[in-house]
Structure 1
Amino acid sequence: MLKSKTFFAACAAAAALSTPVPAFAQLPEPVRAMIDAAIASGDEAKVRTVIELARETNPGDAAEIDAILASYETDLAAKAEADAAAKEEAIRTAGLFENWSGKGELGAFRSTGNSSNTGITAGLALKREGIDWRHKLTGRVDYQRSNGATTREQFQARYEPNYKISDRLFAYALAQYERDRFQGFSARYSVSGGLGYDVIVEENMSLSVKAGPAWRRTERIGGLTESNLAGLAELDFDWQIAENLALTQNASAFVQEGSSTFLSETGLQAGIADDLKVRLSYAVEHDTDPPAGAVKTDTLSRVTLIYDF
């Protein structure tokens, strides 16, 4: 009986030894070198293309190639996570004057309405994106002198902080200063706060809307000062039509007792260099109850160069 058991054990051992053990085939050295070179380039699209070609031309080595791809994807995910963590930490520890981006604008304008003339225009827009907060600073000047007299003088400056409640919903605050003697006021101050929503968030298109209560103080040229409660609604639309062509549309409405203000500005900009663009824009501003002697609607056509920084 013992001999029978020994015989069967020996047979089983011999059978086990004769069964092939699964193992990766040896990937040809030129193929491995090609994959390693693609990975070293840091170009993910190139890596995936090379690996797919290697799999098609070396079907017997598919398992080893899949293992290389899995290892690459693991390293890629780890690097992306590390980069995201480093970026977030850099944003959180940035100083007050760091992480700002913006654009400067300089050109000419043509106006009709309360004044009909051609002059110079300049603008500056700054933006700072944080983890929870977003800050926007903008300023614009339109100015002209003719025969020793100022025939156009319009200034606007505004600051808008946003707090991100969710991926798309945000709360905003707004402080704005304007001066336009030809519309009948030496200064107009506006403050507002409310909610906004990013309706469209795509790589080539964005649409944001916001609304809330507002307060406005207008100092008229003649010395009269008015303060009013108002409602503010704004729309900001950007569409990257092509690589070097973009359409922008901004609209706002201050609705109040007395003179409400409606503004619409449409722009078309084209890239002419890496950080340089040319922009054509057309703005319409309508005041429902302007001072005596002023017309209700002003239009402004601008041709400007924009430098991104």
Structure 2
Amino acid sequence: MKVLTLLRGLPLFSLSFFSAGAMASVDIFTVPDDPSTAKSDFAGNVQGSYAHQGGNSRTSTISADSTLTWFDKANAYSLWGEAYNYSSDDTRSSEKYQAGLRLRHNLDGKNFLFGQSGWSGDRFNGYRGRYTTVAGYGRQIFSGPLHTLRAEVGPGVRHDEFTDGSGTTNALAYTALSYSYKLTDAAYFIQGVSVLASRDSTLNSETGIRIDLNKRFALKVTYNYTHNSKPPSTAPDKTDTKTQVSIVYNIP
């Protein structure tokens, strides 16, 4: 009960469970980490939070996301998902769900092929369902010890189903960058950016800092930015943002 009481007082606080490298939000939609540098055959994370406020104003927020990745010598296979909803005075005003699959095949030490497919539903932003599939070429530009940087590019297709009952299918061009920089022995800067260019282009960005407190725990602060160039008429705002503070637990 003491733990539940504490969580109710921290609306931006979440507990996270990580076992390895990939630290970017599932929104960024980039391929898995380099299998040649993986420290084990499996890397997984689960992150979730719950916040509740009562009294004159009643609000509640529930969020959870997870990424599970399996590695072999030249390949990586990743499953990911996210769920989020927010209610105020017993009325839900934000709700989002996502799930997908990512694949990576190393051609050599620097170059790789990838494929990824995902679904998202965000009815308060006008989307009953958004299905996206892309494939293409990537390059591991830096792999440490201070810098890690990879880039991806490829064609794809996206099908949108809107909450007003209409739908569209369009070809798209995908590109992404994923970067991290070791600031100190215990602190890392992380940045991910992806663009899905089409008639309705989407830009996703995550900027953050991770600080290792000890071998098991770390503090992570992230700012996520999403911009749609042509949002649905039922949800005309083009930009959504999210700030989150997490305590990360590293699974042995």
TM-score interval, normalised by the smaller of the two chains: 0.7 to 0.9
Q: Which residue of 2 aligns with 1:186?
A: 128
Q: Distance in 2 between matches of 1:291 and 1:221?
A: 9
Q: What letter matches 2:69 in structure 1?
A: K
Q: Does 1:286 align with 2:227?
A: yes
Q: Distance in 2 between matches of 1:269 and 1:121?
A: 20
Q: Which residue of 1 aligns with 2:143?
A: 201
**Identity over the aligned pairs, expressed in percent?**
22
Q: Does 1:106 align with 2:48?
A: yes
Q: Which residue of 2 aligns with 1:305?
A: 247
Q: Secondary structure at the match of 2:232?
A: coil
Q: Secondary structure at the match of 2:188?
A: strand
Query: How far 1:157 sits from its partner (Å)?
Result: 1.9
Q: Which residue of 2 aligns with 1:124?
A: 66
Q: Does 1:276 align with 2:227?
A: no
Query: How far 1:136 sits from its partner (Å)?
Result: 2.3
Query: How far 1:274 sits from its partner (Å)?
Result: 2.3
Q: Distance in 1 between matches of 2:211 and 2:60?
A: 23
1:16-165, aligned counterparts within 5 Å? 99-107=41-49, 119-165=61-107
Query: How far 1:165 sits from its partner (Å)?
Result: 0.6
Query: How far 1:159 sits from its partner (Å)?
Result: 1.4
Is residue 173–residue 196 contact of structure 2 (8 Å, CA) maintained in 1?
Answer: yes
Q: What letter matches 1:291 in structure 2?
A: P
TM-score normalised according to structure 1 size = 0.62
Q: Distance in 2 between matches of 1:217 and 1:156?
A: 15
Q: Secondary structure at the match of 1:160?
A: strand
Residues 121-150 of structure 1 deviation map (CA, whole Å, 9 limit, x = unaligned)? 322122222112112222222221221121
Query: How far 1:272 sits from its partner (Å)?
Result: 2.8
In structure 2, relative to structure 1, the CA distance for the partners of 1:143 and 1:307 (3 Å cut) is farther
Q: Which residues of structure 1 form unaligned runs of 5+?
A: 1-87, 92-97, 110-116
Q: Does 1:265 align with 2:209?
A: no
Query: How far 1:191 sits from its partner (Å)?
Result: 0.4
Q: Distance in 2 between matches of 1:198 and 1:170?
A: 8
Q: Which residues of structure 2 form unaligned runs of 5+?
A: 1-35, 52-58
Q: What letter matches 2:191 in structure 1?
A: Q
Q: What letter matches 1:238 in structure 2?
A: S
Q: Which residue of 1 aligns with 2:154?
A: 212
Q: Distance in 2 between matches of 1:191 and 1:225?
A: 16
Q: Secondary structure at the match of 2:237?
A: coil
Is residue 222–residue 244 contact of structure 2 (8 Å, CA) maintained in 1?
Answer: yes
Query: How far 1:118 sits from its partner (Å)?
Result: 7.8
Q: What letter matches 2:183 in structure 1?
A: I
In structure 2, relative to structure 1, the CA distance for the partners of 1:268 and 1:106 (3 Å cut) is farther
Is residue 103–residue 306 contact of structure 1 (8 Å, CA) maintained in 2?
Answer: no
Query: How far 1:215 sits from its partner (Å)?
Result: 0.5
Q: Which residue of 2 aligns with 1:176?
A: 118
Q: What letter matches 2:125 in structure 1?
A: Q
Q: Secondary structure at the match of 1:182?
A: helix
Q: Which residue of 2 aligns with 1:250?
A: 192
Is residue 104–residue 308 contact of structure 1 (8 Å, CA) maintained in 2?
Answer: no
1:223-234, aligned counterparts within 5 Å? 223-234=165-176
Bigger RCO of structures 1 and 2 (CA < 8 A, at least 6 apart): 2
Query: How far 1:307 sits from its partner (Å)?
Result: 2.6
Report the aligned-residue RMSD: 2.2
TM-score normalised according to structure 2 size = 0.75
Q: Secondary structure at the match of 1:203?
A: coil
Is residue 280–residue 304 contact of structure 1 (8 Å, CA) maintained in 2?
Answer: yes
Is residue 106–residue 306 contact of structure 1 (8 Å, CA) maintained in 2?
Answer: no
Bigger share in strand: 2
